[in-house]
Structure 1
Amino acid sequence: MSSHWERLDSALRPSVNASVAAFERARPRLLDVTAEMEALVRKVTEDADDAPLFVTSRTKTVESFREKASRMVAPVPDAAPALLFPEPLRNLTDMVGVRVITTLPGENANVANLIKRRRNIFDCRGDREKDIGSIESGTYGYSSRHLILRSIQNDVVRAYQEALDPDSKPNGSYFFECQIRTVFAHAWSEIEHDIRFKAQDPRAWSPYFDRQFTATAAMLETVESAFSELHERYETVTSFWDADGEGGESLTPNRIKAVWQTLLPHVDRKADDDWGWAAELVAAHGLTKTIDLAALLQSEIISNVRKALDHRYSPGPDRLLDDLLLWQFGQRHIELTAEEPEAEQTPRRDSLQRRHQQMQRYRKMMGF
């Protein structure tokens, strides 16, 4: 496959050569601009709640600039050949590129908004989601947020503009591209770029490669979704331990249900939505706040209860919560929630007493 430069009409070559020469002459100053834009983006994002993993940048090479400057518009009958970018030094916005690498997809929007709000440093002239087209077309591709930013009255940019055109008045405004993407998407994109666009011999390309890249993009989306869900669950669980925030919320039936389904989603066999029984059980022991229930539903406590009672079946929420309270409060739980000892029939009290004895034997055996 020939390059754009090789296919360029001879009448357009002088113009492209002049642009390439100017770019090559001013590129050392453009490297300074790249470093400056990277430093500014890093400074804007370093104090964010979800600070990026890292920020990188790159400056277009002379060869890459020549290739892009050599692109022509689609041929039109009876029209002379024309360049797609007649003034590449002014038309191209990707000569400087900054990349912000995040952990999770949800952080991309946060970083983009943080950058866009710094209007004293950057003027955002473009903002698009690279994966939106993939979603709407039912295909796959890596997710990335692309911003076109313009620097504002920047002295490093002025030095570049003076080197590029000493006769013009520098204004310190420069367009550059800022990509924001996750570390997973970054890895996928780098590998794809190396194989798909940097292949030494394009004849070596196989349609199977396209199929594999599509498959890995689909897997990437699944992995990112799983990690995002895991992060959200972690944030929710962490909030249960904030006594002044979520942890202080009252244990209504619906609240107990929500906390339970977050901490123990695998133990949820209630056929109805009535969790009033749970509210009554925990209230009997003065457990009225979310943090109280979170402290009770700990894996170590649950493991001990399961081993002590050697359940022959997997208990549902009602039975497991009852057992956890019995483990924590012992005989007091029996006295507070079972029938009176002198009642004609005491099936609950008898069951609790039997389970309590099992727990006592287990505690003694384990040296608790």
Structure 2
Amino acid sequence: MSAWDQLDDRLRPAVEASTREFERVRPRLEEVTRQMQASIQEIFIGTELSPLFVTARTKSIESFRDKASRMLASTVPGDAPTLVFPDPLRNLTDVVGVRVITTLPHEVDVAANLIKRQRQEFDCRGDREKDIGTIESGTYGYSSRHLILRTIHSEAVKEYQRALDPSAKAGGSYMLEVQIRTVLAHAWSEIEHDIRFKASNPRAWSPYFDRQFTGTAAMLESVESAFAELHERYETVTGFWDEDGEGSAPLTPNRVRDVWQTLLPHVDRKSDDNWGWAAELLAAHGLTTTTSLASLLQADTITSVRRALDHRYSPGPDRLLDDVLLWHFGERHIDLTAEAADAAVSPRRDSLQRRHRQMATFRALEASK
């Protein structure tokens, strides 16, 4: 049942009058909506953020009437209730609404900050994160950033204000709402709104629906966290190839560990935290930067090494790195890292030469296919 259906009869004339006035000037507000959408879209041009899309809408007549019908109960028994929005054309801040839809959670904050910096065009009068309450209460709900913006000397707003009241000075100041959320949160909220808030028969509502919505919100949070982690790992990995930035970082033992655990987290069976030998093996070939290690640890190379040697046990980082270097540098790796050729005892040289022969046999078989 809508707020209009429950409205006290004594308040109906005022709401009906406001609704008629809204219907009269709504075409002007639609133009304001188009201008606001274009202005918000333009903010992101040439920035680090490209939203998936920016949409906008002007509140429908039915929705306006329903919101204008919201009541505050009287504190005096027998007295008529009052309207929450006695002058809805001026009190409501969501008649014009813009939505900015991003890909990842961190982009919501980036978008909000970019919009709030446009101080020559907008004055931010409110900034609220809709998921804060659910986080602090230990419950789940969709995440959304809501900005309340006041336009500054907008020509489209001035045209609307002249249509609303020709006798008043049109200053071009108007409140609108901008919602910023991820595409997953947007999909969830749209489905929830259709089912939860547009249900034609509230008697048909089941508590199980609430339980299901809570469950899907929890799953949504987990999925978004996974995507955020993927993005962070992607940014880290691409940084390894930046020869003027992260890629130039020297390969200390700790750096070797960090790069390895980022690129090959599934191959990390070291029983200690000593990555010094790995750094020494790399340095023997003059591989001393992050980019050189990232170039070495390519998936196709590692797959070939595994197939060539048919390891009885999955190798740990030190052994696998040793094998990859042997695959790339062959006899040179043996000469640089093993005992001298004339040493009385040479267990490492013998092992490396045996593995090198296995690799040569594998390469020959692959070439003959």
8 Å contact 2:239–2:247 — kept in the other structure?
yes
* Partner residue, 2:72: 73
Distance 1:271 1:165 in 2: 78
Counterpart residue identity of residue 285, structure 2: H
* Partner residue, 1:95: 95
333-342 or 111-120: bigger deviation: 333-342
Counterpart residue identity of residue 335, structure 2: E
Query: How far is 1:47 from its partner?
Result: 2.5
SS of 2:179's partner is strand
Distance 1:46 1:136 in 2: 35
* Partner residue, 2:247: 247
Distance 2:45 2:196 in 1: 33
SS of 1:178's partner is strand
Determine if the alignment matches structure 1 residue 211 to structure 2 residue 187: no
* Cα deviation code 1:119-149 (max 9, x no counterpart): 0011000001111111111111111110000
Distance 1:45 1:101 in 2: 12
8 Å contact 1:103–1:183 — kept in the other structure?
yes
Percent of matched pairs sharing the same residue: 69
Q: Provide TM-score, normalisation by structure 2.
A: 0.97
After superposition, residues 272-291 of structure 1 pair within 5 angstroms as 272-291=272-291
8 Å contact 1:130–1:143 — kept in the other structure?
yes
Counterpart residue identity of residue 277, structure 2: W
* Partner residue, 1:57: 56
Distance 1:349 1:367 in 2: 27
Query: How far is 1:37 from its partner?
Result: 0.5
Distance 2:336 2:62 in 1: 81
Query: How far is 1:50 from its partner?
Result: 2.2
Gaps of 5+ in 1: none
Distance 1:142 1:81 in 2: 33
Query: How far is 1:19 from its partner?
Result: 1.1
SS of 2:314's partner is coil
173-182 or 10-19: bigger deviation: 10-19
* Partner residue, 1:260: 260
* Partner residue, 1:26: 25
8 Å contact 1:134–1:140 — kept in the other structure?
yes
76-85 or 354-363: bigger deviation: 76-85
* Partner residue, 1:128: 128
Query: How far is 1:112 from its partner?
Result: 0.3
8 Å contact 1:29–1:163 — kept in the other structure?
yes
Counterpart residue identity of residue 276, structure 1: G
Distance 2:10 2:224 in 1: 49
Counterpart residue identity of residue 16, structure 1: V
Distance 1:267 1:77 in 2: 72
Distance 1:185 1:48 in 2: 23
Distance 1:208 1:52 in 2: 35
* Cα deviation code 1:172-203 (max 9, x no counterpart): 01100000000001111111111111122222
Query: How far is 1:74 from its partner?
Result: 2.8
Counterpart residue identity of residue 38, structure 2: A
8-17 or 357-366: bigger deviation: 8-17
8 Å contact 1:46–1:52 — kept in the other structure?
no
After superposition, residues 185-200 of structure 1 pair within 5 angstroms as 185-200=185-200
SS of 2:270's partner is coil
Distance 1:210 1:7 in 2: 24
* Partner residue, 1:347: 347
Query: How far is 1:284 from its partner?
Result: 0.2
Distance 2:279 2:70 in 1: 70
* Cα deviation code 1:346-365 (max 9, x no counterpart): 11111111111100110111
* Partner residue, 2:301: 301
Instruction: Provide runs of 4+ in structure 1 moved above 4 Å.
Output: none
Distance 2:90 2:274 in 1: 66
Distance 2:58 2:273 in 1: 59
Number of aligned residue pairs: 367
8 Å contact 1:250–1:290 — kept in the other structure?
yes
Distance 2:34 2:63 in 1: 19
Query: How far is 1:271 from its partner?
Result: 2.2
Query: How far is 1:48 from its partner?
Result: 2.3
* Partner residue, 2:235: 235
Distance 2:202 2:218 in 1: 25
Query: Over aligned residue pairs, what C-alpha RMSD do you find?
Result: 1.1
237-246 or 168-177: bigger deviation: 237-246
* Cα deviation code 1:271-304 (max 9, x no counterpart): 2222111110000001011111011000000000
Distance 1:45 1:222 in 2: 28
Query: How far is 1:242 from its partner?
Result: 1.3
Distance 2:47 2:224 in 1: 21
Distance 2:106 2:210 in 1: 27
Distance 1:231 1:115 in 2: 23
Distance 2:306 2:91 in 1: 69
Counterpart residue identity of residue 330, structure 1: G
8 Å contact 2:103–2:183 — kept in the other structure?
yes
Q: Provide TM-score, normalisation by structure 1.
A: 0.98
* Partner residue, 2:336: 336
* Cα deviation code 1:89-109 (max 9, x no counterpart): 111101010000000000000
Distance 2:321 2:192 in 1: 51
Counterpart residue identity of residue 25, structure 1: R
Distance 1:77 1:156 in 2: 43
Query: How far is 1:46 from its partner?
Result: 3.0
Counterpart residue identity of residue 47, structure 1: G
Query: How far is 1:205 from its partner?
Result: 1.5
* Cα deviation code 1:231-255 (max 9, x no counterpart): 1111111111111111111111111
Query: How far is 1:82 from its partner?
Result: 0.8
8 Å contact 2:10–2:80 — kept in the other structure?
no
Distance 1:348 1:75 in 2: 90
